[in-house]
Amino acid sequence: MRHARKINHLGRTNTHRKAMLSNLACSLIKHKRITTTLAKAKALRVFIEPLITKSKAANNPEITPVVKKITVTHKDNTVSEVERKIRVNSSTPARRVVFSYLKDKDAVKELFGAVASKVADRPGGYTRILKTGFRKGDSAETCIIELVDYNENMLTDKSAKEKATTRRSRRGGKKKATTTETANTTAPIQEVKTEQPTAEATDVVSETEKKKEE
């Protein structure tokens, strides 16, 4: 029973679990999509999304430098205050923090480069989990976890659906128009005229009747 267990330990020790999540996070950053179990994917989402937010905030150019006062002690034991400009958006401290989690220089470079610029306009929710069924050996529920902005197919489908939306009116204007068009398109009924027999035809008929009587 999992009383008072706030996180899923995944059947591993603390160090083993952190190493596994670090490897999964590096694979997701490099390949943008990986296949794993659902439990690991949910734990990976909690692990990697704060790191992506930190990388995105470090590359924000709109943040202005902050002026801070620093106390400096000189050789003659005198103390003075010095003003220095500190860039809040400097990526070096953030890179060191992220590297303490990932332990991979290539993954940190990719995260602060291409991934951070790709998700710059997204306020959160950088990953997506797609369930793929159950594993054959132990029936574990498997899934695909991917970075949302790198799935071009789903982004194009979403934009196409937004363009295809039309306005519906409750009035039956279209139905009336179609009924009038069908009424106009129906062909007029032509009257069939029967021709009356002429006088010559009546004389021929009378002669044939006389011959039969004889």
5-25: pLDDT as tens digits: 888 899 999 999 999 999 999
pTM (predicted TM-score): 0.62
Give just the sign of the alpha carbon dihedral 169, 175, 180, 181. Answer: positive
Contacts of 77 (CB under 8 A, 6+ apart): none
Q: What is the pLDDT of residues 67-117, one digit of tens each?
A: 777 788 888 888 888 777 665 556 888 899 999 999 999 999 999 999 999
Go through the domains of the chain in sequence order and give each one's CATH number: 14-61+90-152 (3.90.1030.10)
Mean pLDDT of 20-40: 96
Looking at mean pLDDT, say which of 84-88, 180-184, 200-204 comes out highest: 84-88
Contacts of 107 (CB under 8 A, 6+ apart): 25, 26, 29, 30
Q: What is the pLDDT of residues 145-176, one digit of tens each?
A: 999 999 888 777 666 666 666 566 666 555 55
- Contact by Cβ (8 Å): 149, 122: yes
